[in-house]
Amino acid sequence: MSDDSYELGQKLAEDFNPGMEAALKGRYDALVPGLSKSVVDFAWGQQYGREGLDTKTRWLATVAALTALGGQTRPQLKVNIASALRAGATRREIGEVIWQMALYGGFPAAINGLNAALEVFEEQDNA
C-alpha cells in the first residue's frame, strides 16, 4: 500500500461514492482492522485510478461484471450504477451494458440488473 495510491483512492471514493470509506470503517474495521483503508487503496487507488481506461468505461465494465455475477451483487451493483452515472454514463449506456450480460450471466441476471438500474434511476428522479 503506497501513500500515493491511498490518497488517490480517497479522492476517487469521495468523488464517486461519498462517505464510503467511513461506512466501511464503521461497519468492518473493528472485525478486520484496516479493511477500509485496504479497500480504498486497492480498489479505488490502484484499480479505478489506473491509467489506460477512462473512468466511465471502468464503471461500465464494473456494472457489466456485477450484473453477470448475478443477484447476490445487487447492493454493489446499485452503488456502481450510481457511480457510472456520476462518471458520465447515460442511462441508455448502462441499460445496454446490463442487457449485453444476458449472453454471459443469463437472462435472469440481466433482468435483475435492469431492475436494479431502474431503482437507481427512480431514486435519483425522486431526490
Question: So where are the chain's domains?
Answer: 3-48, 55-126
Confidence of residue 1 (pLDDT cuts 50, 70, 90): low
Q: DSSP letter at 50? A: -
CA-to-CA distance for 73 and 29, rounded, in angstroms? 21
Q: Of 62, 64, 14, 58, nearest to 36 (Cα)?
A: 14
Q: How far is CA 73 from CA 5, 49, 95, 117, in A?
A: 26, 22, 17, 13
Average pLDDT rounded to a whole number, residues 39-48: 95
Confidence of residue 71 (pLDDT cuts 50, 70, 90): confident
Matching CATH number, 55-126, of 3.40.50.880, 1.20.1290.10, 3.30.930.10, 3.40.640.10: 1.20.1290.10
3-state class (DSSP) for residue 105: coil
Average pLDDT rounded to a whole number, residues 5-10: 94
